[in-house]
Structure 1
Amino acid sequence: MNPVKALENHSQSVWLDFLARGFVAKGDLQKLIDSDGVKGVTSNPSIFEKAIGSSDEYDGAIGNALKKGDRPVAELFEHLAVEDIQHAADVLRPVYDQLNGNDGFVSLEVSPYLAMDTKGTIAEAERLWKDVSRKNLMVKVPATPEGLPAIAHLIGEGISINITLLFSQKVYVQVAEAYLKGLEKYVAGGGDPSHVASVASFFVSRIDSAVDKQLDEKIARANDPTEKERLAALKGKVAIANAKLAYQEYKRLFSGPRWNKLAAKGAKPQRLLWASTGTKNKDYRDVLYVEELIGPNTVNTVPPATLDAFRDHGKVRDSLEENVDEARHVLAELEKSGISLDAITAELVKDGVKLFADAADKLYGAVAHKRATVLGGTIDRQDLKLGSDIGKAVETATEEWRLSAKIRRLWSHDKSVWTGTDEDRWLGWLNSPAAADVADYEDFARRVKGQNFSDAVVLGMGGSSLGPEVLAETFAKKPGFPKLHVLDSTDPAQVRAMEKAVDIAKTLFIVSSKSGGTTEPNVMKDYFFACVSKAIGAEKAGHRFIAVTDPGSSLEKLATKQGFARIFHGDPTIGGRYSVLSPFGLVPAAAAGIDVRTLIKQTLAMVRSCGPDVPPQENPGVQLGLAMGLAGLDGRDKVTIVSSKKISDFGAWAEQLIAESTGKEGKGLIPIDGEPLGEPEIYGNDRFFIDISTEGESDAAHEDKLAALEKAGHPVVRIVMKSVDHIGQEFFRFEVATAVAGAILGINPFNQPDVEAAKIKTRELTAAFEKSGTLPPEQPVMSTAQADLYTDQKNAADLRKAGADGDLSSWLKAHLSRIHADDYMALLAYIERDHAHIDTLQHMRLEVRDKRHVATCAEFGPRFLHSTGQAYKGGPDSGVFLQITADDAEDVPVPGQKASFGVIKAAQARGDFDVLTERGRRALRVHLKGDLDAGLKMLDRAIVEALN
């Protein structure tokens, strides 16, 4: 009989601390049962990580699992683990049956991330017990303060438990008490305790490693040879002494009246299991922790190497109760030396939790990588070329995020990830794709199709309009469904243009506003409600309107009063700019016939890739966010988004998300959308490039430009979408990335403190108009027949010092001369947003970019007020602003108000400009007179002249 098998004669069971799929499938476990008398198997995250991450053994199983449908990384791992545990349990079931349930167990650990979460531990343990569905399963629960009540509860439910990370005699007594308490509860409820088993996994070698380190330090400092000898004599003795005395507690606890009462009902004692029995100190015998802890009714769980070593040269004797008094003496001598075993064991529990969490991170990282490999093109590709400095900073931050569990904390709504204010109230967007009621959207789409609408128009601003606009611009019109449009302007010409572009009598209007109190969608609704009433009758008008708004808003009340066809409720915990994958984006998508089911399915692939169980290294949203945030801190705060033709409007949505989320408290990232790529020499050192395209769309010339930027030292991120159907993946990736970047910058990415300032100014101006019939007068700093210039006194004085005098060119030259390296220049045009005007502003901005080598923005008001306006006012003071206003060729009245669309737009422009100047921004306003197109051409020429 080999030494391992001989342990049976001493009433000690050997369990194997190892599990792998092939090991069980090929019969290796059965061989150990037959030859060595192995009676159990334990697993932990480290064991699974080595099995899954270090080989291709699980690749086929992962592929087969994903063929049945994608799933989160933790679920995917659990699916694999449950199968492995079931197979091992089935192999050990004859042992379990032969020994009447006294042995033959397989252990599966609850997530190490739950070590400090009693409720979470209970829930997961109960689920694993149900999913594995094997009597000879033991669920592993750590002996943390939070784990102890979970142990008592689970035992009380009749679930067999392996208590892990147990180092201290004192805690062992608490563990045994929890077991007894649980058994008593189970018996009181009518349960049969003979089916409940438990082991208390008492860790051994880690104690010696920690104690020996402190002993060596004391030996090195000691001057007395006798003291050195005394301390040296304790090395390699403490762990065994600690275990022997724990066994004495076991004998006390599982005897006497209390235990006898339970035993009479068939209860089994909770055996001590010696864990961490592989010798870590090469000076010690490699089977030390097996040979010295042999005793009745105990378990020794050994790694394969220790099993092989003991089989080869282990010596078997009843050692556990030898020299118990000597064990007490060893611990007394340790205390005398000033080393606290209690402090060491408490620290070892913390370290043990961390080590298992680290292993779980590696495990989930390995599973995430294999999942992404198997899914291939179903997940959009992301490639980061960041350069050495930013790349190293991202590596460091990635590890810091992993160690501090920030991605799990983010998903658990922990506001301390950011500033600790109210961020936890604004994280509903994390679950909005999974929470989408797809069947309801599909039913709504069928109803819209049945009405034969020619057009659908979203009336909204910012988050309510920019997401739907991406969908409208990206997806072709679907047969049988209305063409989707978005109106997000108070410019009279733009309102008129929308009215002319649609058949009012056959148009569905989607009024979209979270609060219901936003000026623009309200006046747009009033105008088009009147138009529809005129076209089909006031009594039917409400049937052509849909409201998307938060519950209880003023819009909901108005929609009910006016008989809207449907009211969709938004989630109050989702801010507007994060709302595209909620009803604010999905209602317009459904109305336009976009396949919401496919959109959500594709989106969820990215949600899972960015999930709480995907470590930062493998998490694409976290990686992009860390890169953006750290690049910003390094001075590369101009996030330049280059979108290919098929998804050209994506940048406008991302622009709002990034600017409004990060631009505050004098910090922030300034998104640059719409700038075509140029040669490397026209860019400063403040750029961070994100190139996003669909597969096969990027050409060689474009790739050459990106490569040149990389070579010149600019960080470049490439994102390649499989198709436009994957647009939801990018919405979610950028939402996560922006939230992460906000954490890096140290701001709250969910508020917008400076947006309200412009709204207040606008309300003051429109209120003044309602009283007097005119806006308050203003005095230009310069006036010609073609244009008036406005700014505050300080800006005017600075510009005059810089050479501004009596003509427009001199003022523009002085203004543009204030652009310095790492600044950006923004054109803020309160005019109709159409292709011609977009092209004109593009020409202006590119002249500035190419001559001054700075980032440029071309924005249309008032829509940018709900987007980049936050960053312009609250972000870094690196912007130089040229606001453009103009006389309206034809104004449009707002039903029921004195103020027309033109007046509201003028008030918004003035309010916006006033806040810019109050914040000390370098701002100049040019008001064009007469024909707008002629005025823009004149301004374009003047800018070119001023730059030369």
Structure 2
Amino acid sequence: MNPLKRLFADQGQAIWLDFVARGFVRDGGLARMAADDDIRGVTSNPAIFEKAIAGSDEYDDALTEAQHAPGRTVMELFEGLAIEDIRDAADVLRPVFDETHGDDGYVSLEVSPYLADDTEGTVAEARRLWKEVARENLMVKVPATDAGIPAIRTLIGDGININVTLLFSQAAYEAVANAYLDGLEALAKAGGDVSKVASVASFFVSRIDSAVDKALDRKIAEANDPDEKAALAALQGKVAIANAKLAYRRSKTLFGDGRFAALEAKGARAQRLLWASTGTKNKAYPDTLYVEELIGPNTVNTVPPATLDAFRDHGKVRASLEENVDEAAATLDRLARAGIDLDAITKTLVEEGVDLFKDAADKLLGAVATRRAGVLGPLLNRQELALGSLAGEVEALAETWRAGGTIRRLWAKDASVWTGADEAKWLGWLDIVVREQANLAAYKALAEEVRREGFTDALVLGMGGSSLGPEVLAETFGRQEGMPRLRIVDSTDPAQILRTEQSVELSKTLFIVASKSGSTLEPNVFRDYFLGRLKEIVGPDKAGRHFVAVTDPGSAMEKAAKADGFRGIFYGEPAIGGRFSVLSAFGLVPAAVMGLDLDALLGTAETMMRACGPDVPPEANPGIRLGLALGAAAKAGRDKVTLVADEEIRDFGAWAEQLIAESTGKNGLGLIPVDGEPLGPPEVYGGDRIFVHLQLEGREDDAHDEAFAALEAAGHPVVRLGLALPSDLVQEFVRFEFATAVAGAVIGINPFDQPDVEASKIKTRELTDAYDRDGALPVETPIWSGPGIELYTDPRNADALAKAGATDLAGWLKAHLDRVGEGDYVALLAYLDRDEHNLDRLSATRLAIRDAKRVATCLGFGPRFLHSTGQAYKGGPDSGVFLQITAEPAKDLAIPGRKATFGTVEAAQARGDFGVLSDRGRRALRVHLKGGDVAVGLARLGESVRRALG
């Protein structure tokens, strides 16, 4: 007879197979083994599923269904596959279950190893799996950890079959057996049928010998006496079997006394010992060792396919389990006398076993995520990282994050991922795309009102996160048929306010006042101005119907909106900071008003959110991996994140610029984003750059491809992000939010505060208060004055510049720019109308500086950048050289209800900004254009900069 069949026929030991795979089950392999080899059960674990899914194409058809459900998590995808396989295997073995009246025919499915230290989580997941598999012959696998044992007691009490895994010590086994008995007693007391419950205790074998043999090798190497060496060597390969035999003796005692007898009278089954880890790991030992030496009645041996084949071929069947039990006890005594603590080893093995299962689960989920990405194809934006010298550090960080479960901790809102401060309060963005589904009806109702009432334009009145996200949507998606054109007001410059006003018909314009706190200066003055204008045009009673507010609950803006009779108030989430708010009401209300398909928008974003989920390990997790790369770049001195995007999606850079700068630039650390700087050849860049390219797929004539290839060849780290359509840009909101949060963790800062932004607000408030009191801003004295231009700075900077002995504008600018060193950046901070002409002139100036100085350059328009890159300029690395540009307004605008005009507010903001730069010891110079002709002043400035650069 086949030796495998003799195990049960002659000795009463069941053989289970430690393997499952879709093709093996569906093609009849398991059924044949059940018939030919008397296989009576199946066990599984993450490592088995990983080999099955990653190592074959058997699951491709099932994974293709992910195309129709891109919002499913990777864990949900895996569980769907696993549950289907477990059900199929259970159905194949159901005849065994029926013939043995529930003694055998079981298939095991493991709870997540990530729950090994979570009793409540283990219980909840085991109950869910039991319900979802819906097979009587399922066994849910639960580890014998300190948290797992009370879970086992609860689950047995629920009437759920349990396979207890990761048992190494006799003491732990006794605790498990008692937990089983406790559970049965609880079930009986509740009126349950204890005869319907089965359990096995998986006692691991070969891993014990592997660990003990290593300890013996060390002892043998240390010993000098040949007899002592021989005695130690004689213990090798003996301890695991001895330990198992003593556990079996203990089992017979535990299930042979009166306590179990009372349960047995009600139909209860004894919990069988199951020998696990029975594949031989030491090639010096017989390949059937852990089967042949552990044969006994009412036990189970679960074997991997290779061991099964070996035993079928040459296995020997005998009643070995109760042979020489006294000698087994003596073996363990000799081990203890040799100074080797078996209890300590088994405790370590449990910890290592949990870690190994977690590692296997990570590999499994990584395989599913990779397959998912392949199946989704263009539905998930592409990411390729060519990191050059950063690659090794990023791989090391990825392994640290994987081994530490840091992604799961991040999703669990564990502030210790960062600094342990208040980070947990600011993580509402993690799954906002799912939770916002509940609010879509209200947004759509507003969109229908806007369409029905014939609004032709919509203006978002906001700053920073409240305006930059909507601006990306407006610029990327464009005007939708039959809906208003969306525009942004985020400047206090009088010329820009007036230009925007003249571009719309106010009586047909809807205003979206967006302010998280409701106390930010700019949205409030925008509201005051345009509400005043609407009152003049449509009357005080109707003006409020042209406004909606987006703000946090209980804010000052909410109160004002109610008082002014706004059409509606939409609430942001207090747990989301402004720069992370684009997929909350702050972005979705403008998106609805401009007529975007919100279901499609959120669905597209959710695809990326799931790809960045807690169950996706770093190597397959796009947001986490990008964040690790950015964090590693910052620590390696490549802290200038140069963003380059194709024309149709170019506006994304301004949003990402704020997110990265305001999140990471603090405590003298951080990343400096560089947006809008034209791409140049490798020789114009220093070693402080990392390049990020957002490109639309399928373009044969992409002008950037060749340039990026050259940068990569020159050793610069390059990140390529590919989008099938411009509308897929919403996925990049998600990717960059994750990446920025992760980069902050790597850098070692809190990415959710902005300590230096408030400083500018305070100084601005002091100046506007002075204006309200005195009717003018405090008088300033220039350090140099010439035709149409004055220069201002603080005494420290003035002293540094005066040493150059400059006599004209170019000389002063040369002295300032000569302070630029390797690894620095130059930022032009323009408090001007952000129109096309001013942008072009200043872009030409920044390019001249970049090419001459070989440094990164930034261009920001105030006060817009104050709520964006301003944080990094003041709180980030002290590597910035700043040239602020202000001008006298050609025409000022009054603000209803306020003494200060827009021109006054802008001037106060510029001075407040410069004051904080000075307080932080930054290298800063202000160029003030007089006379009201900005074009002439910028031309003169540009020419002087070029002269200064030589």
TM-score over 0.5 for the pair: yes
C-alpha distance in 1 between matches for 2:46 and 2:455:
56
Task: Map 1:593-632 onto structure 2 (within 5 A).
Answer: 593-632=595-634
| Residue 473 (structure 1) aligned with residue 467 (structure 2) | no
Aligned residues of 1:598 and 1:725 also touching (Cα < 8 A): no
Task: Map 1:790-939 onto structure 2 (within 5 A).
Answer: 790-805=792-807, 807-930=808-931, 931-939=933-941
C-alpha distance in 1 between matches for 2:398 and 2:137:
40
Q: Deviations over 1:168-190 (max 9, x none)?
A: 11111111121112222222222
Greater mean deviation of Cα atoms: 439-448 or 313-322: 439-448
2:722 paired residue number: 720
1:409 paired residue number: 409
C-alpha distance in 1 between matches for 2:699 and 2:449:
35
C-alpha distance in 1 between matches for 2:38 and 2:21:
19
Q: 1:447 to 1:398 in 2, by over 3 A?
A: same
| Residue 89 (structure 1) aligned with residue 90 (structure 2) | yes
* Superposition CA RMSD, Å: 1.3
Please state how far the C-alpha of 1:595 moved relative to its aligned partner.
1.1
C-alpha distance in 1 between matches for 2:468 and 2:33:
64
Please state how far the C-alpha of 1:101 moved relative to its aligned partner.
1.0
| Structure 2: 5+ residue stretches without partners | none
1:351 paired residue number: 352
- 2:314 partner letter: H
| Residue 63 (structure 1) aligned with residue 64 (structure 2) | yes
C-alpha distance in 2 between matches for 1:66 and 1:827:
46
Aligned residues of 2:66 and 2:375 also touching (Cα < 8 A): no
Task: Map 1:258-269 onto structure 2 (within 5 A).
Answer: 258-269=259-270
1:523 paired residue number: 525
Please state how far the C-alpha of 1:580 moved relative to its aligned partner.
0.6
C-alpha distance in 2 between matches for 1:145 and 1:879:
54
Aligned residues of 1:85 and 1:106 also touching (Cα < 8 A): yes
| Residue 418 (structure 1) aligned with residue 418 (structure 2) | yes
Please state how far the C-alpha of 1:697 moved relative to its aligned partner.
4.5
Please state how far the C-alpha of 1:671 moved relative to its aligned partner.
0.6
TM-score by length of 2: 0.98
Task: Map 1:410-449 onto structure 2 (within 5 A).
Answer: 410-437=410-437, 438-449=440-451
**Alignment match of 1:493 (pick from 482, 495, 511):** 495
- 1:267 partner letter: A
Greater mean deviation of Cα atoms: 3-12 or 253-262: 253-262
Greater mean deviation of Cα atoms: 378-387 or 209-218: 378-387
C-alpha distance in 2 between matches for 1:841 and 1:697:
30
Aligned residues of 2:70 and 2:376 also touching (Cα < 8 A): no
C-alpha distance in 2 between matches for 1:401 and 1:804:
53
Aligned pair count? 946
Q: 1:855 to 1:68 in 2, by over 3 A?
A: closer
- 2:637 partner letter: G
C-alpha distance in 2 between matches for 1:775 and 1:258:
90
1:7 paired residue number: 7
1:682 paired residue number: 684
Task: Map 1:40-439 onto structure 2 (within 5 A).
Answer: 40-64=41-65, 66-67=67-68, 70-387=71-388, 389-437=389-437, 438-439=440-441
Greater mean deviation of Cα atoms: 651-660 or 770-779: 770-779
Aligned residues of 2:66 and 2:372 also touching (Cα < 8 A): no
Q: Deviations over 1:357-412 (max 9, x none)?
A: 1111111111111111111111111121221x212222222222211122222111
Q: Deviations over 1:176-212 (max 9, x none)?
A: 1211122222222221111111111010110011011
1:943 paired residue number: 945
**Alignment match of 2:515 (pick from 495, 513, 516):** 513
Aligned residues of 2:608 and 2:735 also touching (Cα < 8 A): yes
DSSP 3-state at the match of 1:903: helix
Aligned residues of 1:208 and 1:238 also touching (Cα < 8 A): yes
C-alpha distance in 2 between matches for 1:69 and 1:822:
42
C-alpha distance in 2 between matches for 1:93 and 1:354:
33
Aligned residues of 2:550 and 2:570 also touching (Cα < 8 A): yes
Greater mean deviation of Cα atoms: 461-470 or 114-123: 114-123
C-alpha distance in 2 between matches for 1:335 and 1:501:
88
C-alpha distance in 1 between matches for 2:91 and 2:442:
44
2:539 paired residue number: 537
Q: 1:123 to 1:66 in 2, by over 3 A?
A: farther
Task: Map 1:2-41 onto structure 2 (within 5 A).
Answer: 2-8=2-8, 9-41=10-42
Aligned residues of 1:644 and 1:698 also touching (Cα < 8 A): no
2:459 paired residue number: 457
C-alpha distance in 1 between matches for 2:668 and 2:326:
68
C-alpha distance in 2 between matches for 1:739 and 1:245:
52
DSSP 3-state at the match of 1:320: coil
- 1:913 partner letter: F
Aligned residues of 1:460 and 1:521 also touching (Cα < 8 A): yes
C-alpha distance in 2 between matches for 1:828 and 1:696:
37
DSSP 3-state at the match of 1:465: helix
C-alpha distance in 2 between matches for 1:165 and 1:226:
35
Greater mean deviation of Cα atoms: 862-871 or 704-713: 704-713
Aligned residues of 2:66 and 2:376 also touching (Cα < 8 A): no
C-alpha distance in 2 between matches for 1:159 and 1:512:
53
Please state how far the C-alpha of 1:69 moved relative to its aligned partner.
5.0
C-alpha distance in 2 between matches for 1:729 and 1:531:
38
C-alpha distance in 2 between matches for 1:318 and 1:261:
29
- 1:184 partner letter: E
Aligned residues of 2:632 and 2:746 also touching (Cα < 8 A): yes
Please state how far the C-alpha of 1:226 moved relative to its aligned partner.
2.2
Greater mean deviation of Cα atoms: 870-879 or 180-189: 180-189
Aligned residues of 2:71 and 2:603 also touching (Cα < 8 A): no
Please state how far the C-alpha of 1:700 moved relative to its aligned partner.
4.8
C-alpha distance in 1 between matches for 2:375 and 2:778:
65
Aligned residues of 1:644 and 1:697 also touching (Cα < 8 A): no
C-alpha distance in 2 between matches for 1:98 and 1:475:
65
TM-score by length of 1: 0.98
- 2:410 partner letter: L
Query: Percent identity, aligned pairs only?
Result: 63
| Residue 551 (structure 1) aligned with residue 553 (structure 2) | yes
| Residue 738 (structure 1) aligned with residue 754 (structure 2) | no
2:773 paired residue number: 771
Please state how far the C-alpha of 1:766 moved relative to its aligned partner.
1.2
C-alpha distance in 2 between matches for 1:637 and 1:681:
18
Aligned residues of 1:244 and 1:293 also touching (Cα < 8 A): yes
| Residue 673 (structure 1) aligned with residue 678 (structure 2) | no
C-alpha distance in 1 between matches for 2:202 and 2:411:
32
- 2:875 partner letter: G
- 2:642 partner letter: T
- 2:751 partner letter: P
Q: Deviations over 1:482-521 (max 9, x none)?
A: 1101101111111112221111111111111111111100
- 1:474 partner letter: T
1:567 paired residue number: 569
C-alpha distance in 2 between matches for 1:211 and 1:46:
24
| Structure 1: 5+ residue stretches without partners | none
1:484 paired residue number: 486
- 1:48 partner letter: F
Please state how far the C-alpha of 1:68 moved relative to its aligned partner.
5.2
Please state how far the C-alpha of 1:65 moved relative to its aligned partner.
5.0
Aligned residues of 1:646 and 1:693 also touching (Cα < 8 A): no
Please state how far the C-alpha of 1:70 moved relative to its aligned partner.
4.6
C-alpha distance in 2 between matches for 1:223 and 1:914:
76
| Residue 755 (structure 1) aligned with residue 732 (structure 2) | no
